[in-house]
Amino acid sequence: MAAIEKAARLLSLNGLFPVYKPKGPTSAQSLYELKMKLLNEAGVKEHRKKKKQTLKIGHGGTLDCTASGVLVVGIGEGTKMLGTMLGGSKKYTVIGELGKETDTLDASGTVTEEKPYDHITREDLEKTLKTFTGNIMQVPPLFSALKKDGKRLSCLVREGAKVEEKPARLVTVYGLSITDFQPPLFTLGKISITDIRIKTSCAALSARHRSCSFLTGVLHLNRKQSSVYIPGTQTAALLPCGW
């Protein structure tokens, strides 16, 4: 009877939940791990047919495998609300490293270029940041979760396929600030309302000063939408040890 009650409670679960994703696994891998733990705890087996899910679960927005932060996870009827998460505002804290550029624009790639950075000051970056706010056009990086013919661009590039850049997209950035500057590392706070690519912004910022950079770390703080608010700090989110 206890097993039946556990299964019934799980399958009747509905809502949105902030779940902390550590650095390393992809968003899909973290979601799958969470799903399997929920099913195993309830003693429920997953359907073999992909079209028929035992537990309906999904996430709103993707975090890179190199990023730690919060995934908004929808379960049951909550999956219908995930679309609103993609349109809501997002706040990030980004750690960049000056003087080096990688093929992926983050720490997962191979260094492809090195340039001097000693001439760059905090004041230089803060002044340039003003041109990165408001409505701006941004070209998404090839190493991203965007898809072509149902497959991620990053996977196609790693397989050696020829991939053309996606056209520039209009994104809106509410605010930017340098919260810490200890060369070659700098910390950048950013709030946007559309699907901005942070590592592209980081590379463009250093390029304005005849240098280069890549992301060493990303912390996704929260997502906010007019009708739904999901707290996104690590302390408010469900940690992997609690799954």
Q: What homologous superfamily is domain 89-224 in, according to CATH?
A: Pseudouridine synthase (3.30.2350.10)
Report which of 33, 70, 36, 3 is spatially closest to residue 219, judged by C-alpha positions.
70
Quote the pLDDT of residue 123: 96
Question: Using an 8 Å Cβ cutoff, are 106 and 66 in contact?
Answer: yes
**Cα–Cα dist 28/218, whole Å:** 18
pLDDT of 98 reads 98
Bond from prior residue into 141 cis (ω within 30 degrees of 0): no
Q: What is the pLDDT of residue 184?
A: 97
Three-state DSSP class for 191?
Answer: strand
Tens of pLDDT, residue by residue, the chain (243 residues)? 476 777 788 778 899 888 888 888 888 999 999 999 888 888 887 766 656 678 899 998 777 777 777 888 999 999 998 877 666 667 778 899 999 999 888 888 899 999 999 999 999 999 999 898 889 898 877 776 677 777 777 677 677 777 777 788 888 888 889 999 999 999 988 767 666 678 888 999 999 999 999 998 775 555 554 334 344 444 556 666 666
Q: Say how many C-beta atoms besides its own lie within 10 A of residue 179's C-beta.
A: 11
Which pLDDT belongs to residue 178?
94
Residue 60 gets the label, from left (phi > 0), alpha (psi -120 to 50) or beta, of beta
Residue 99: the pLDDT is 98
Provide the residue type at 77 as one letter.
E
Instruction: Locate 162 and state its tokens.
Output: 């020829």
* Greatest C-alpha distance within the chain: 70
What integer pLDDT is reported at residue 225 of this predicted model? 46
Pairwise CA distance, residues 241 & 231, whole Å:
19
Q: Where in the chain is the domain with CATH 3.30.2350.10?
A: 89-224
Positions annotated as catalytic residues are: 64
Retrieve residue 213's tokens: 């950079």
pLDDT value, residue 183: 97
